Amino acid sequence: MFKNILIGTLASLILLSGSVNAQVNLTAETASPGGATHLSPAHMTEIAGTKGIANIQLADGQTLTNSIQNVAEGKTDIAATPYILPFLMSRGVGPYGSLGKEKGAELAGNLRAINPFTLGIFLLYAYDAKNIGGWDDLKGRKIYNGPPRGGALTNARSMIQIVAGLKDGEDYEGLQVNWGQGTTLVTSGEPDAIVLPELFPGSRLTSVTAAGKMTGWSMPKAAYDSEAMQKYMQAPGSAPVTMDLATLQETMGDDWTFKSEDGTFRAFATIGGNVVHKDMDEQLVYNLVSAYIETLDELMAKAPYGKTVGFDVPMQGMCGKNPIKYHPGASRAWIDAGFKLDECALAK
């Protein structure tokens, strides 16, 4: 009798243990649907629940500037971010100016990466009907270059200035609207050209071609190789990008024409990833990231751009001036799965 009770008690404890593990509740924040910034944490949310690792409540449409501060302060468990934001936080500048350098550095020091993705690749494009000649034909034009504020606008303005030598408000008229209004603005025909971070193929590029055929321009080789651009592309959260022009053309289809002086498309990308607090349980992080890595093929199959945004390139955007390093649980998961992480990307 006692033996049966003991066996029953042990079985109950094992079941209870599994139940408790499956009911770990986490919160996550990300941007609106439509890109890797949303797809990555959404997939992690799905997989964590399916595999009984954690219940993640994902809030989308968030301002990522605030989201990573929430993680750093322990108010949110997971947040998506371009890596430029932790850098700015660590300096107490830009959107984190009110924190000051000391507090900003303290908060940024609480952040750890768990997985990567590309937010977008910056390029110049326009409707063929606009008869734009490329980078040297932007003076005096109306150019949609991002939302009213933030990293995308800064990067687009900088790209135009370095490549074409033109300043917003002086040499061309910059048009800015919130992301949700972007497709409507482009299809209205008001902008002569667009310089934005895009995915190939992303939902915005697919939508705008319903109103007409488009041409996209590679960054000229001389501009790409210039000291100013090479230095700019090494900034935290940025990375140089080269793609085979024919492959890109095939990917985007007949509604698009891509131009370059040779067979290479050149641009730069905004790099980011999901971050957690440094004190998140190591085994929990390991379990989350391991499950995520195991299902990378499923993740990449969920969107047309799935194989082009570096879901499986954990070193993209890491090291250099990027203050973010991998959480020990995450680095262990990537390494155990056969990926190489440089020492500079590992938290001590």
Q: Classify the phi-psi angles of 74: left when phi > 0, otherwise alpha if psi is within -120 to 50, otherwise beta.
A: left
The model carries a pTM of 0.80
Per-residue pLDDT tens for 33-84? 888 999 999 999 999 999 999 999 999 988 898 999 999 999 999 999 999 8
Mean per-residue pLDDT for 130-135?
Answer: 96
The beta strands (E) that lie in 147-230 are given as: 173-176, 193-198, 214-217
Q: Is the dihedral of CA 135, 139, 144, 147 positive or negative?
A: positive
pLDDT of 263 higher than 80: yes
pLDDT of 185 higher than 70: yes
pLDDT of 8 higher than 90: no
pLDDT band per the 50, 70, 90 thresholds, residue 3 = very low
Contact 278, 112 (CB under 8 A): yes
CATH of domain 2-118+272-345: 3.40.190.10
pLDDT band per the 50, 70, 90 thresholds, residue 10 = very low
Residues spanned by CATH 3.40.190.10 within the chain?
2-118+272-345, 120-270
Question: Looking at residue 22, what is its pLDDT?
Answer: 52
Per-residue pLDDT tens for 190-218? 999 999 999 888 888 888 998 999 999 99
CATH 3.40.190.10: does it fit domain 120-270? Answer: yes
pLDDT of 304 higher than 50: yes
Question: Looking at residue 94, what is its pLDDT?
Answer: 85
Structure tokens at 181: 């209004």
**What residues contact 68, with CB distance under 8 A and at least 6 apart?**
79, 81, 85, 86, 89, 111, 275
Cβ neighbourhood burial of 140 (10 Å; 0-12, 13-18, 19+):
exposed
Question: Looking at residue 235, what is its pLDDT?
Answer: 85
